[in-house]
Amino acid sequence: MTRAMTMAEKMLAAHAGLDEVVPGQLVECDLDGVLANDITAPIAIKTVREIGAGVWDPTSIFLVPDHYSPNKDIKSAEQTKVTRDFAHEMGITHYYEQGCMGIEHALLPELGVVGPGDLVIGADSHTCTYGGIGAFSTGVGSTDAGVGMATGRAWFKVPETIRIQVDGELPAGASAKDIILYVIGQIGVDGALYCAMEFTGSTIANLSVEGRLTIANMAIEAGGKAGLFEVDDVARKWLEGRTERPWTEYHSDPDAQYKQVIKIDAADIVPTVAWPHLPSNTHPVAESRHIKIDQAVIGSCTNGRIEDMRAAADVLRGRTVDPNVRCIVIPATQGVWLQCVHEGLMDVFINAHCVVSTPTCGPCLGGYMGILAAGERCVSSTNRNFVGRMGDPTSEVYLASPAVAAASAVAGHIALPSDL
């Protein structure tokens, strides 16, 4: 009889061809996909060239130019060209050219390229996003991604799992973003170091898939190796007709062993903002109203899905952005962008005096489309607020939900939608 296992352990065991694994065990696994973007792909491609074997499976490599795309300068254009030329040379089917692309971690689930039970590595730390639909996905270095592209295999140390159980009803105005900010605020940026974070409970069961993807996306901000959600009826409905391949569901055994079980009452979670310079530096929005802002960003792989666009538009409808604030809205994919058009959300954003961008990571990493000058402050629905993350080292980034970012843009300071 095999030992009771968590869903993370079951997925790694299955991909290693083993009946069971234990935390700390080193395993070599078959991969379902390898991801890289316009920054990380050129380094991974160099590794593939050095190995000299070509790619293991051109249908299982995902190349998404999203960080500096459309190209912001000559250097970024050259990086994208390296990626594009390699994709064409190797016959890679999942290369997403400008005009078809989106922010990688929003695009791949939306298109059904990744699905439940998949084991995916990506040369980007927020690859953990796909755990929101029951995949084991994690970020790796570009060299490891290159080895994965060439061989279809990767080494893993089986992580311990922390079970995070959230029960009850969220207070008015609180969202999935507030759940993950609350968790990170409680355990710290290394509280789940190299652990799988498994989210469960009645509150989680009532979240949309978009909300789950938001939470899984920020598992890395607590040091997590993966952020995992079991597939349920909500996920199955969202996945049906979307995924390219049949999927496999993995569920933790009732008697599985966890490193830690954290129980949270949803009533304790309020609209939250993470002050500089750590995602764990969390404060209630209600206690942050004194902070004036120069910019608001609504988008990213964390909060650029249609649900996020609707939340922001609900706040901005019939209102205008404070004349001293720049509000930048970035739908995460072309599909989301088009849906915003069909639902009239673009009218709302433009009438509110927002800038609306084509899909790009852009300002999230201080790339372009919203760099901060010295001393400027931004409230953002992105995932990181480290020193200099969005521009000048003396600038400041405050992390919040799309609704709070939108309300703050209108108020000119960090604010709740209800303040308006």
> What mean pLDDT, rounded, does the chain reach?
96
What CATH topology corresponds to 161-230+247-268? Answer: Aconitase; Domain 2 (3.40.1060)
**364 marked among binding-site residues:** yes
Q: Indicate the range of 12-16, 239-243, 313-317 predicted with least confidence.
A: 239-243
- For 7-158, CATH gives 3.30.499.10
Rg (CA), the chain: 20
- pLDDT exceeds 80 at position 1: no
Q: Which pLDDT does position 231 carry in this prediction? A: 97
As given in the structure block, the two tokens for residue 12 are: 């790694």
- pLDDT exceeds 80 at position 353: yes
Q: Which pLDDT does position 39 carry in this prediction? A: 94
Distance CA 183, CA 302 (A): 16
Name the pairing type of β-strands 161-167 and 260-265: parallel
What CATH topology corresponds to 274-419? Answer: Aconitase; domain 3 (3.30.499)
- Do the Cβ atoms of 164 and 198 come closer than 8 Å? yes
- Do the Cβ atoms of 214 and 176 come closer than 8 Å? yes
pTM value? 0.95
Cα–Cα nearest to 274, from 171, 186, 397: 397
Distance CA 345, CA 171 (A): 26
Q: Look-up: residue for tokens 């709740």? A: 416
**354 marked among binding-site residues:** no
Q: What residues have CB less than 8 Å from 327, skipping those under 6 apart?
A: 295, 296, 298, 316, 321, 352, 353, 354, 355, 406, 409
Give the chain's end-to-end CA distance (angstroms, integer).
Answer: 60
pLDDT tens-digit series, residues 182-208 = 999 999 999 999 999 999 999 999 999
What does DSSP assign to residue 34? Answer: E
Q: What residues have CB less than 8 Å from 398, skipping those under 6 apart?
A: 273, 274, 275, 276, 288, 291, 293, 377, 378, 379, 380, 385, 414
Q: Which pLDDT does position 364 carry in this prediction? A: 84
**29 marked among binding-site residues:** no
In DSSP terms, which residues pair with 196 in a beta bridge?
A: 161, 226
Q: Look-up: residue for tokens 């029951």? A: 134
Q: Identify the band that residue 101 occupies on the pLDDT scale cut at 50, 70 and 90.
A: confident
- The mean pLDDT value for 248-265 works out to 96
Q: Residue ranges per domain, the chain? A: 7-158, 161-230+247-268, 274-419
Say if 161-230+247-268 and 274-419 have the same CATH topology.
no
